[in-house]
Each structure stands twice: as structure tokens, then as C-alpha cells.
């Protein structure tokens, strides 16, 4: 999913009436897009808490005479961003992905999201049953084969059984233990997901080099603190973005381009 496609999918998400601020190039800084609501009367059941505090962050490439290019992040760059950024309360990574439910005679295609533990905290959503991913489940590749289900999948596959926690489900031929079920209507930032998988399981389920490649393909979502501002975040990323790009060059970086991060 391209950055533009991602923004379109978020714009279609139930309860988000419009994007505000848009994307702003900072040259050697960062590009920030906020998820805001244009008309509060359009909110029936807000899917995300304080949506105006949510921001999407991008890497940007700027070449003389060329349009600004927005890119996502490599996992190593995300780790540096998460460690060093001070203007965000939480930083989460996510990747919309197509998977197959396996383990029965018939496989079933399904939309999911690979996410970090902070993802649900950033969106301000709690599970209907069980729990979401813990920080210590986001450290070692393949060590925690677990999943969180969407409400519709829980109803369809498990008849809404409250005893689903601790049972297993097959995803791309990997057996995952179910640890939680999300509330009805929650489909993630992609507005399509029915299963959530921890980042550290991605190499087993999607892309083997997910955690190590320098390719920029992972989306980053942040939450501003209550007293935080978009201006403060942009000012910080103006310095932090290029520093991350210098520390961890990417094969997606164009020779001669000005590299930055943005929100």
C-alpha cells in the first residue's frame, strides 16, 4: 500500500470525516499528516480517541525540480525514531497485509495488520476480550506466535464464544494463540483488518526480512501528548529526521536527494 493509498484508506475509515493539515515538506526536516475531524457532528461512534492528536509520519525525498516523495520507514529506522523522539507520547508501526486463514480444508483470504504493541494504545482502543500485545512480546523474532482477532472473525469462526482466548488459529500455515478480541466495528487504521499480528511474527508470516531490511515499507503512527503541538513535533523532526537517515541509509534513498522525516 502506497502512502497515497494509505491516506485514502484512512480517509474512508468510519468516523474520520476529513484529513487536516496535509503534508508539509520541511526540506531537511519531516513531513507530518494529522488525522483530524472537520465536522464533529459527523462522529457517531468515534473509532479513535482524540483523533486530532494522531499523526502519520513519513520519510521524504526531495530532489531539485522534482515533486516531494513520501516514503514509509524501515524497521531499523523506526527503532531509532521510537528511541529518540520526544514530541510524541507514543510511536506505533503498522503494515496492512493480506493473509490466509489455514488449518482447515478451506483456506480463507483475510485482511490483517502487522502491528507493534503501541498501536492499540495510540488509537485509544481496548479489547472486548483478553488483551493486546505486551512490550516484551515485541523483542525476539518468532518467540510469541499470538494474534488478536476482529469481532467479525470471532463471530464467524468461533461463534462468538467467550472461551476463545487461549485457542488457536492458523494464519499462513502458522499456528497462533488467540490472546484478544477487538470491539465490534474496529477494523484498524486500514478500516479492513480482522486479525492483528505482532511485528516480531512478521518474518514468519509475511516478509522474511521484515525486521532487518533497509527498505522503507512500514507505516508509522504517533500520538501527540495532551500538551504537545504539531509545530513542536515538526521542529524536532527537522533535526531528528535527517539524523536517522544518515545513521541508517536505505536502498530506497535516491542519490543526490535531500532526506528528511515528516509528519
* pLDDT, tens only, 128-158: 999 999 999 999 999 999 999 999 999 999 9
On whether the CB atoms of residues 31 and 25 are closer than 8 A, the answer is yes
Give me the domain span that covers residue 47: 3-262
H or E element that contains 139: none
The dihedral through the CA atoms of 40, 43, 45, 46 has a sign that is negative
Q: What is the pTM of this model?
A: 0.83
| pLDDT-wise least confident of 2-16, 209-223, 242-256 | 2-16
CA 5 vs CA 1, 8, 246: distances in Å = 6, 5, 28
Cβ pair 102, 172 in contact under 8 A = yes
3-state secondary structure of 196: strand
Confidence of residue 90 (pLDDT cuts 50, 70, 90): very high
Least confident of 74-83, 89-98, 238-247: 238-247
Retrieve residue 155's grid coordinates: 463471530
Instruction: Please say whether the beta carbons of 213 and 3 come within 8 A.
Output: no
Check pLDDT > 50 for residue 26.
no
Cell of 111: 485482511
In this predicted structure, what is the pLDDT of residue 34?
52
- Name every residue whose Cβ is closer than 8 Å to that of residue 89 and which is 6 or more positions away in sequence: 222, 223, 224, 225, 228
Q: Rounded CA gap, 254 and 256, in Å?
A: 6
How big, in percent rounded to 5, are the helix, strand and coil portions of the chain? 25, 30, 45
Question: Residues 199, 72, 185, CA angle at the centre, nearest 5°?
Answer: 60
Determine the 3-state secondary structure of 86 from DSSP.
Answer: coil
Cβ distance 29 to 260 under 8 Å? yes
Structurally, the chain folds into a number of domains equal to: 1
What is the band of 80 on the pLDDT scale with cuts at 50, 70, 90? very high
Q: What is the pLDDT of residue 122?
A: 95
CA 46 to chain centre: 18
pLDDT of 259 > 80? The answer is no
Amino acid at each position: 500500500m502506497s502512502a497515497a493509498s494509505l491516506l485514502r484508506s484512512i480517509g474512508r475509515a468510519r468516523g474520520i470525516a476529513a484529513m487536516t493539515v496535509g503534508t508539509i515538506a520541511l526540506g531537511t526536516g519531516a513531513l507530518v499528516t494529522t488525522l483530524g475531524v472537520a465536522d464533529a457532528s459527523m462522529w457517531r461512534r468515534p473509532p479513535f480517541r482524540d483523533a486530532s492528536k494522531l499523526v502519520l509520519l513519513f520519510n521524504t525525498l526531495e530532489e531539485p525540480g522534482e515533486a516531494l516523495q513520501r516514503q514509509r520507514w524501515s524497521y531499523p529506522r523506526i527503532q531509532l525514531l521510537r528511541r529518540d523522539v520526544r514530541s510524541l507520547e507514543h510511536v506505533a508501526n503498522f503494515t496492512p497485509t493480506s493473509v490466509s486463514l489455514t488449518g482447515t480444508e478451506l483456506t480463507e483470504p483475510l485482511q490483517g495488520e502487522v502491528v507493534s504493541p503501541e498501536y492499540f494504545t495510540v488509537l485509544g482502543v481496548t479489547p472486548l476480550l483478553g488483551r493486546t500485545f505486551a512490550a516484551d512480546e515485541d523483542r525476539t523474532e518468532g518467540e510469541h506466535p499470538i494474534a488478536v482477532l476482529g469481532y467479525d472473525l470471532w463471530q464467524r469462526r468461533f461463534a462468538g464464544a467467550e472461551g476463545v482466548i487461549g485457542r488457536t488459529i492458523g494464519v499462513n500455515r502458522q499456528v497462533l494463540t488467540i490472546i484478544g478480541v477487538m470491539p465490534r466495528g474496529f477494523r484498524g487504521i486500514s478500516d479492513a483488518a480482522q486479525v492483528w499480528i505482532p511485528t516480531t511474527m512478521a518474518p514468519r508470516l509475511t516478509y522474511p526480512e521484515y525486521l532487518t531490511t533497509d527498505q522503507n515499507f512500514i507505516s508509522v503512527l504517533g500520538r501527540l501528548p495532551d500538551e504537545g503541538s504539531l509545530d513542536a513535533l515538526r521542529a524536532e523532526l527537522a533535526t531528528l529526521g535527517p539524523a536517522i537517515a544518515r545513521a541508517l541509509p536505505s536502498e530506497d534513498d535516491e542519490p543526490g536527494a535531500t532526506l528528511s522525516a515528516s509528519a
